[in-house]
Structure 1
Amino acid sequence: MSIFEPIEALEHREERLSAEVKTLSDAERKLYFKAQTKQLKDPDTYASLNWSFIGGIHHIYLGKYLVFTVEFILLLVAVAGIVAGFELFIIILVALALFELPQLFFSQKIVRQKNYQISRSILDEIKRSPNKDV
C-alpha cells in the first residue's frame, strides 16, 4: 500500500473486509471486535506525533521501527554535521522534511491503511485458529 493509492481502492478493500466479518459467527465476531479495539491506531495521535516531535516518533506508533531508526540516525548525523560547521548537511534535513511532509498530509490515509492491515490480520487469525482464541 502506498500513500498515493486511490482512496477508492482502500474503501473497496475495507468494504470486502466488512462483508467477510459479517459472515463470522457471533462468537468469532465478538473476538474480532475485541482484538480490533485493542490494536487499532488513532489517526489523530499519528498526526500529532508527526507534527509535534522531530525524528520520526510517529513511525514507532505504527510499528515501523526500521524507518524510525534510519530517520532518527539521519537526523542525528545532519544535526551533528551542521553543528560541526558543515552546511552541506542541511541537505539531509531538507530530504527528511520532504520525506515527512507527505506523511503529515496523508496521515489519515496512512493510519486507515495500517488499520486495514491490522483488521485483515485479525480476521485471518480468527479464520485460521481452531480454538478461536485470538
Structure 2
Amino acid sequence: MLRQADVEAEEESLRQAIRELPDEQKRQFFDMVRKEVKDPDTYATLNWFFMVGLHHFYLRRWVRGLIVLFALIISIGLFLSGSIWPAVFLLLVVYAREFWELFRSQIIVQDWNNRLYRDRLTEASDSAEQ
C-alpha cells in the first residue's frame, strides 16, 4: 500500500536529481514527460463519474480497467437474468476498491508520475552518455 510520506520523499529525490541535470538534459527530460504526466483530478473524475474503469485506462493499467469493465458487464447480465444477489456481491467486491481509490487519487497519480519521472530521467541520462 502506498504511503504518502514515501511517495513525497521519492518525489523530492526526483526533483533534486532533475535540478542537477545540465540545461540540455533538463529540456529533453521535460519534453519527454510533458504529454505523459497525469492529473489527479482527471483520475478522480473518471473514477467518480464513469465507474467502468476508465481511470485505470487513464493510467495505462489496461488489465485492471478491463477487470472492472467486465465485472460491471457480468453484474448487469446477472441482474437481468434474475440473479440479483450475485450481481450485488460482485459489484460490492469490485467497487469497494474503486471507491477507496477515489479518495486516494492524489497519491496514486503522484506515484504514477514519480515512476514516469524516474524512467524518463534514466532515459535522459542514458542519451546524454551516448
- Structure 2 length-normalised TM: 0.93
Distance in 2, matches of 1:46 and 1:15, equals 22
RMSD value over aligned CA atoms? 1.4
Q: Select 1:90's aligned residue among 83, 88, 91.
A: 88
TM (norm. structure 1) is 0.90
Deviation at 1:54, TM superposition (A): 2.0
Letter in 2 for 1:19: Q
Asked if 1:42 is matched to 2:46, the reply is no
Aligned equivalent of 2:112: 114
Which residue among 16, 23, 32 is the counterpart of 2:20? 23
Structure 1 segments (4+ residues) deviating >2 Å: none
Tell me what 2:101 maps to: 103
Q: Is the 8 A contact 2:37 2:116 kept in 1?
A: yes
Distance 2:109 2:129 in 1: 30
Q: Distance in 2 between matches of 1:36 and 1:130?
A: 17
Residue 8 of structure 1: which of 5, 12, 26 is its match? 5
| Cα distance, 1:6 vs structure 2 | 2.2
